Amino acid sequence: MSELTDLTAVQLVEGYRKGEFSPVDAVRAVLRRAEEVQPAVNAFVRIEPETALEQAEASAARWLRGEPRGLVDGVPVSVKDLLLMRGGPTLRGSRTIRPQGAWDEDAPSVARLREHGAVFTGRTTTPEFGWKAVTDSPQSGITRNPYDTSRTSGGSSGGSAVAVAAGAGPLSLGTDGGGSVRIPAAFCGIFGLKPTYGRVPLYPASPFGTLAHVGPMTRDAADAALMMDVITGPDARDWSQLAPGAGDFRARLGEGVRGLRVAYSPSLGGQVAVRPAVAAAVRRAVECLAAQGAYVEEADPDFPEPVEAFQTLWFSGAARVVQHMSHAQRELLDPGLREVCAQGARYSALDYLAAVDVRMDLGRRMGRFHQTHDLLVTPTLPITAFEAGAEVPKGSGHRRWTGWAPFTYPFNLTQQPAATVPCGVDGDGLPIGVQIVGARHADTVVLRAAHALYEAGGGGITPPGRV
């Protein structure tokens, strides 16, 4: 049944409906694959076969009666180890968190998946408290890229990206505060969506405030639309959630891109040096959109690099995470995290509010930009995956991860929906992603464009070989 690990969630549900195979078959195959790849890539903090098989058997019984619980009944799902999931500890990549305790609450997105019958196969790795865009931590070690295990998976949802790419389940829940869904998705050759802020409820609130989003990490845009129809369900614990949207995400997936106004910005107005292989692959994806009837023009959003404002907000959030820790606990932290926490603690309230002013101006600029452009298309990243275990590429001159991820974090500041679609590989066979950004609340338009790329052959790459 190993071929079941190659199927999307949509295909699995259809197979269950037709009786071609059962959730038990699929979950066994996924668990077998997870155990097989784990030693090489380290995608999981925990794999939970007993619980998963129990859930799969209950799902199989429901399907046999013709009474599936919901949209993803019996579909294997993994969850980033930043999101609460009852029945086991959420360690957040940190040795400072005690695993003992009740652990009896689900995060909203986990709760919605559980209500729809999803089968939870395990918890995926994250850097400590999700602070950086690669995935290694003192608690769980280094997570590696399934296309080349000497390279990074990206982060901070690196374990989720690797799990999906390697066939250890078609769906995973990630979080994205500055690119943490899109960066590892791009490095690992899968689809990732950062929805409009508030579209997917979040609890507990992130210490990084309204930069942090929850989003699907999947094989393709159709699976992400399916997952969004589940995880966007309301939850009273999130005071900042948006009102339920009109209609469902799958209903408009096939509307295509004909007539959409697409701005193609290859380098944010010359602000970013993009590797030639990346630039060429992204241009081909843009040409694919144009061939399907989108009106494409080269146009750059009008904003200066907002890295200082982002880092003020991000590092302040990191300082808040450790504020009440003892000296002994702080000694257990990732050394890089200790550095950014110290920097964040030095900012004043006025520094923070100045960064908020930059953020509001950026949001205003992008709001005006989307009056004349439905979508903005950029590279997801200017590079492909670099050596594992490093925060920045060797010899890059960058001090922090924000230096090599300039296309992602601006859209956390603005809270816009943004997706990454795999659109090719470089000369070393490493995945390249194209980023599709929509106006706030235009999540369905982003998903439509991404799905159109997949349907036309401009999205998706060959999965990695056995690792």
Tell me the C-alpha to C-alpha distance, in Å, between residue 138 and each of 34, 81, 94, 319.
Answer: 22, 14, 7, 18
Closest of 259, 274, 155, 266 to residue 217, by C-alpha:
155
| Residue pair 179/383 in contact by the 8 Å Cβ criterion | no
Tell me the C-alpha to C-alpha distance, in Å, between residue 356 and each of 39, 220, 410.
Answer: 43, 34, 13
Q: What is the pLDDT along the chain (467 residues), one digit of tens a residue?
A: 459 999 999 999 999 999 999 999 999 999 999 999 999 999 999 999 999 999 999 999 999 999 999 999 999 999 999 999 999 999 999 999 999 989 999 999 999 999 999 999 999 999 999 999 999 999 999 999 999 999 999 999 999 999 999 999 999 999 999 999 999 999 999 999 999 999 999 999 999 999 999 999 999 999 999 999 999 999 999 999 999 876 689 999 999 999 999 999 999 999 999 999 999 999 999 999 999 999 999 999 999 999 999 999 999 999 999 999 999 999 999 999 999 999 999 999 999 999 999 999 999 999 999 999 999 999 999 999 999 999 999 999 999 999 999 999 999 999 999 999 999 999 999 999 999 999 999 999 999 999 999 999 999 999 998 66
pLDDT for 295 equals 98
Q: Which domains does the chain have, with CATH numbers?
A: 2-456 (3.90.1300.10)
CA 59, CA 298: separation in Å to the nearest integer?
Answer: 49
Longest dimension (CA), the chain: 61
CA 31, CA 54: separation in Å to the nearest integer?
Answer: 13
pLDDT for 466 equals 67
| Residue pair 167/146 in contact by the 8 Å Cβ criterion | no
CA 130, CA 192: separation in Å to the nearest integer?
Answer: 17
**91-120 burial string, b = 16+ CB within 10 Å, else e?**
bbbbbbbeeeeeeeebbbbbbbbbebbbbb
CA 285, CA 257: separation in Å to the nearest integer?
Answer: 13
Phi, psi of 27 (to 5 degrees): -70, -40
Name the pTM for this structure.
Answer: 0.98
Rounded to the nearest 10 degrees, how much is the dihedral formed by the CA atoms of 5, 9, 12, 17? 170
**Catalytic residue annotation:** 80, 156, 180
Q: Which positions ≥6 away from 43 have C-beta within 8 Å? A: 34, 37, 124, 125, 143, 153, 158, 159, 160, 162, 163, 166, 168
| Residue pair 361/369 in contact by the 8 Å Cβ criterion | no
Lookup: tokens for 132: 């950086």
